[in-house]
Every structure is written in C-alpha cells, then in structure tokens.
C-alpha cells in the first residue's frame, strides 16, 4: 500500500445534486446550511461583529453545482455539528464526495 493510500481526505463536499442527479432546491440551500454552521470556529477566533461563514463549512460552486465544503476538523471541535451536516446530506439524498479542495494556482 502506497503512503498516499493511507492519507485521509481533509474535506467532504456535499453536492447540490440528489443521488439520481436532480438539482436540490431551494437554490440557497448551501448558504443556509453554512449560516447555521457559522458559529463553529477555531478556538480564539470570533466573528468580529460581522456575519461570516465558519472556516469549517463554506458554500461554493463546482462546475455550476452548488456545494458545501466541510473541513473534517469540524468533527474535532464539535462532533454533533459534523453529524448534523452529514444527516442533512443523507436526509435530503445529496451526493457526498470525500476529497481535498486545492487552491487555484496561477499559470506560470
């Protein structure tokens, strides 16, 4: 087994598509879910009086599909929060992909 086979993914992606490929509604589901999760932050980091998403649960789009990127460290700071997002995906029959989002690298 190669060393890369042992590496656990750092993030999971909740896709805005059901298991049969239908687009999940309402259209702002990702922002709503991330808003609920916004209170979960690294120790010592506050919101500084403005609304902001948690660094552990962020909305995004991939190939035109709304998604929520959930950092696995969320489980370490609040296991029930991770259970909540996984149950949300399961209860709504959403596709979940385990991966790691790589930053965009400008061309050289």
Map 13-24 to HEC letters.
Answer: EEEEEECCCCEC
Task: Please state whether the predicted TM-score (pTM) of the whole model is above 0.75.
Answer: yes
Q: Any idea where the domains of the chain sit in the sequence?
A: 3-99
Check whether 48 has a pLDDT greater than 70.
Answer: no
Q: Which two tokens stand for residue 8?
A: 């656990």
CB 56 within 8 A of CB 68: no
Check whether 52 has a pLDDT greater than 90.
Answer: no
User: What is the CATH topology of the domain spanning 3-99?
Assistant: Alpha-Beta Plaits (3.30.70)
Identify the band that residue 35 occupies on the pLDDT scale cut at 50, 70 and 90: very high
């Amino acid at each position: 087994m190669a060393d890369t086979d042992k590496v656990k993914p750092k993030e999971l992606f909740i896709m805005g598509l059901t298991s049969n490929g239908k687009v999940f509604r309402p259209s702002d589901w990702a922002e709503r879910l991330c808003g609920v999760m916004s209170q979960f932050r690294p120790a010592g980091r506050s919101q500084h009086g403005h609304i902001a998403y948690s660094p552990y649960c962020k909305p995004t789009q991939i190939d035109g599909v709304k998604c929520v990127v959930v950092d696995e460290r969320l489980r370490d700071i609040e296991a029930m929060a991770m259970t909540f997002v996984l149950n949300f995906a399961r209860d709504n029959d959403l596709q979940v992909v385990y991966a790691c989002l790589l930053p965009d690298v400008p061309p050289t």
